[in-house]
Amino acid sequence: MTNKNLIYIAGATGVGKTELSIDLAKKLKTEIISCDSRQFYKELEIGTCPPTKYQLKEVKHHFIHNKSIHDRYNVGLYEKDAINKINNLFKDKEHLVLVGGSGLYADSVIFGIDEFPEIPVAIRDEFTIIYNDKGINYLQKELKKLDREYYESVDIKNHSRIIRALEIIKHTGDKFSSLRKDIKKIRNFKTQVILLECPREILYNRINSRVDTMISNGLEEEAFNLKKYSKLNTLNTVGYKEFFNYFENKLSYNEAIEKIKQNTRNYAKRQITWNKKYYEAIKVSSLEDSKKIINHLNI
């Protein structure tokens, strides 16, 4: 049995994962692996709420602002990069902390994901254009027609997963569901999941407050400077897409802000549902001081 331990801090957006992960990493004298798929991108500073510059100095973080929105990057590439980094760090560390709200990316590290053939750029570009021109409803109908089994299991509001499935269907000629093996990969480390929870009403108030803070910090200006890239799949992200609609006079300013709050709350709901799969997780309350939480963990 390996003595290397990966500690994954899971929880909805706004619940307090960053603070707990830093306190835990400091206690264990270790480093943090981020699995937040939007914090990879250096251009997305305000709208993705990455750790502050001070926090990044406190503890070494990996996979924060390491990519550009113009880079082609996906969960398969992340799995390879993250596992390589983790294996290297475990040469000197007994513990590592994994943190982030992107459940699929966390699972790629913990369990591994199915490997699929590389999709030609032409097919990727084709579905990006279709999504921009016809929207997610059209793609949902296409997936339902071509692979009903996967359609009934996937989060149909997640455009990235729908597009990915359609790309693979077109490239291989097979149903996406028939290519999935869902076989867990063997890792040379143990994983312990800490699920940070919070009463729904308090969580939503935190989310609303955090959005207000992002607005005060200049999210509108950041989105405005990125609007020429608004068709990039990476920028179909809460906090940016709503402002793009505002810039195109599809929403009023107040409607855009309320939409950001609503979409963030909906995202938190989906995260809460996803995290139910970690049935062996240690559940802790985010209302408790992080240092007290750490003392309860027996690490």
Q: What is the pLDDT of residue 268?
A: 96
pLDDT above 70 for 1: no
Task: State which H helix or E strand residue 268 sits in.
Answer: helix 253-275
Whether pLDDT at 68 is above 90: yes
- What pLDDT was estimated at residue 195? 95
Region 123-134: mean pLDDT is 89
pLDDT at 53: 94
Residue whose structure tokens are 């985010």: 286
- Residue 261: C-alpha distances to residues 14, 147, 155, 289, 299 (Å): 12, 33, 20, 26, 36
Cβ atoms 113, 107 nearer than 8 A = yes
SS3 1: coil
- Residues in contact with 68: Cβ distance below 8 Å, sequence separation at least 6, in sequence order: 41, 42, 43
Q: What is the mean pLDDT of residues 107-122?
A: 86
DSSP code of residue 67: B
pLDDT exceeding 90 applies to what percent of the chain?
73
Hey, what domains does the chain have and what are their CATH numbers?
Answer: 5-113+184-296 (3.40.50.300), 121-179 (1.10.20.140)
CB 185 within 8 A of CB 112: yes
More confident residue, 158 or 62: 62
Q: What is the pLDDT of residues 19-50, one digit of tens each?
A: 999 999 999 999 999 999 999 999 999 999 99
Residues 6+ apart with CB under 8 A from 133: none
Task: Reply yes or no on whether the pLDDT at 92 is more than 60.
Answer: yes
| Interatomic CA distance for residues 66 and 35, integer angstroms | 12
149-206 tens-digit pLDDT: 999 888 888 888 899 899 999 988 888 888 777 778 999 999 999 999 999 999 999 9
pLDDT digits (tens, 9 = 90+) for 216-259: 999 999 999 999 999 898 999 999 999 999 999 999 999 999 99
Angle at 88 between CA 61 and CA 26, to 5 degrees: 40
User: Tell me, what's the pLDDT at 184?
Assistant: 86
pLDDT category at 146 given cuts 50, 70, 90 is very high
Neighbours of 102 (CB within 10 A): 19
CA 260 – CA 238 distance, rounded (Å): 6
pLDDT of residue 52: 94
Mean pLDDT for 15-19 is 95
What predicted TM-score, i.e. pTM, was given to this entire model? 0.85
The pLDDT value recorded for residue 91 is 96
Cα–Cα distance for residue pair 197/16, rounded to 1 Å = 9
Total residues belonging to the chain:
299
Residues of the chain with pLDDT > 70: what percent?
99
